[in-house]
Amino acid sequence: MKLKHIHIEAYKVFQNFDINFSSADKIQNLIVLTGVNGNGKTTLLRDVIYGDDSANKPEGCMTIDNDGLIETFELPTSPGSESYKKAFSKVIFYTADDKSSVNQLQKEIIRYVDKFVYVEGKTSFEAYNKIQSLIDDIFSGFDLQVRFKGISEEKQLIFTDLNNKEFGIEGLSNGEQQILSKVFPLFTDSMKGHVILIDEPEDSLHPSWQVRLIPVLRRCSESNDCQFILATHSSQIISSAYKEEIRVFIRDDKGYVRAENCTDGSYGWTVEKVLSEIQGVKYLRIPDIECRLSELCNMVNKGEYDSPEFKEALSRMETLLGYSDRDLVLIRMEVIRKRKKA
């Protein structure tokens, strides 16, 4: 199952609201919702898409592609029907338990291996190869220098580092354990054909890992034929998504939210460009520094760059930001240009 379109008549911040999960008539396997706080991203995931309580559903409709069959469910009446319950039983509001103990994580992975052997009738060798490929794909996706080697006779997971030194799951760093606990369940067969909703997937992830999350989820959606819908404030995640995958939630003049496609695309953009052009961040620095830089620029434009006030203000900023700060370099270059012109 995959979501194709949602229409909401009137509900909280939504008024005659439409969001399309397709691009060029193709349903996207991954959709990234972004926008400032309070613009309804979590409300859409939790209140509208997730759950089957018709009393809490707004008026509107949801259209899905259920294995090639296009179905539209009217809200709020449809959630009581068996066909709706069957279709939307494949919707998961995913919250990874990144605080789970290493023992719990290890037991979950072992259970997954046992399922291959005792339920699906695979050999131990086939099961180990499957789990090795899965875990190594996760680690390599996040550029972690760790590999999965196997399972000991005592049913303990064994990993190796770049020097082929062996260690157990407790030898993984906290970050490596966290990534494994967050991402491993998404690759399991239990997620096949599901719509997976994730609110703020960047939570507890270092920015260098946030930027690698989307490619990993794309591979997961392809292998499991599932659809991810993320709500995020992470500039790193937004810059790693294609324009067809992004929906920006913005307020209109009446205060209601609409979902807009990202026409220019943000793939590969710098964090600063995403912040200013998509997320609407006015200041890329703290306001105090922005004001001081603006004052320096104004003094240069007025030809006051030789004044004691300018030199003192510039010196203070160089102490605060460092002599090689990009904006300060540009200000000094502009001073040199003006002096030559004079």
pLDDT in tens, 197-206: 999 999 888 9
Q: How much of the chain, in percent, has pLDDT values that exceed 70?
A: 97
The secondary structure of the chain in percent helix, strand, coil, rounded to multiples of 5, reads 45, 20, 30
The structure tokens listed for 266 are 């943000």
Please spell the DSSP secondary structure of 203-214, one letter per residue: TT--HHHHHHHH
Give tens-digit pLDDT for 204-225. 889 999 999 999 999 999 999 9
Dist. CA 31–CA 195, nearest whole Å:
11
In angstroms, the CA 148 to CA 128 distance is: 10
**Of 307, 299, 287, 284, which is closest to residue 331 (Cα–Cα)?**
299
Q: Give SS3 for 148.
A: strand
Looking at this protein, which amino acid is placed at residue 133? S
pTM comes to 0.87
Q: Of 62-71, 177-186, 229-238, which gets the smallest average pLDDT?
A: 177-186
- Where do the domains of the chain lie, and which CATH numbers do they carry? 2-90+193-277 (3.40.50.300), 102-184 (no CATH), 287-341 (no CATH)
Q: At what angle do helices 326-341 and 308-321 cross, to 10 degrees?
A: 150
Q: Residue 54: count other Cβ atoms within 10 Å of its Cβ.
A: 14
Name the percent of the chain lying above pLDDT 90: 69
**How far apart (Å, rounded) are the C-alpha atoms in residues 198 and 213?**
12
Q: What is the Cα–Cα distance from 170 to 157, expressed in whole angstroms?
A: 9
For residue 97, is pLDDT > 80?
Answer: no
Q: Across the chain, what does the average pLDDT equal? A: 91
Q: Are the C-beta atoms of residues 91 and 50 closer than 8 Å to each other?
A: yes
Residue 93: pLDDT band by 50, 70, 90 thresholds?
A: very high
CA 226 to chain centre: 16
When pLDDT is averaged across residues 25-40 and rounded to a whole number, the result is 94
Q: For residue 307, is pLDDT > 70? A: yes
